Amino acid sequence: MDENIQIFWHQFCKKHNLSKNTPVEAWAFGATREDANELASLVGKRIKTATTSAYELYSKDEKLPEVGDWSIILDGNGKPVCVIKDVCVEIIPYNLISQEHAYHEGEGDRTYSYWRKVHDEFFTREYKERGKAFYPQAPMVCEVFEKVE
């Protein structure tokens, strides 16, 4: 974590009476700088309150999200935008993800058809980059979070 992100986190911890040693991850949404900027903006406006990631693409030593986890959301330049906290984490087959979850992801026109089109493309590409084939029943990590600051 670079110095600017550490300073951001320490200030957040002080303001919210947390230990500065409270575990936190800093990351950006999406696959491109543009995605990161757009999606961070939606989180900042409290429009995006959920996200989905491919369970099978986590490495063995990578920690899966858990309820109570803190994250610093970064923009496309790697700068902190806000802090979120996971309030619900479930592993769900891709083809069973609900319209409600898709809506809470806050993207596009917030319809399930828009979400499905964009995520079909995203996960197809992401799986292919790892030498795997994406399939409809692929287990997904579905997170619901709240923006704290």
Query: What pLDDT was estimated at residue 50?
Result: 98
CB 14 within 8 A of CB 73: no
| Burial bucket for residue 142 (CB in 10 Å: 0-12, 13-18, 19+) | buried
Residue 98 identity (one-letter amino acid) = S
Residue 133 identity (one-letter amino acid) = A
Query: What pLDDT was estimated at residue 10?
Result: 94
Q: How far is the C-alpha of 88 from the C-alpha of 68, rounded, in Å?
A: 8
Q: What is the pLDDT along the chain (149 residues), one digit of tens a residue?
A: 899 999 999 999 999 999 988 999 999 998 899 999 999 999 999 999 999 999 999 999 999 999 999 999 999 999 999 999 999 999 999 999 999 999 999 999 999 999 999 999 999 999 999 999 999 999 999 999 999 97
Query: What pLDDT was estimated at residue 139?
Result: 98
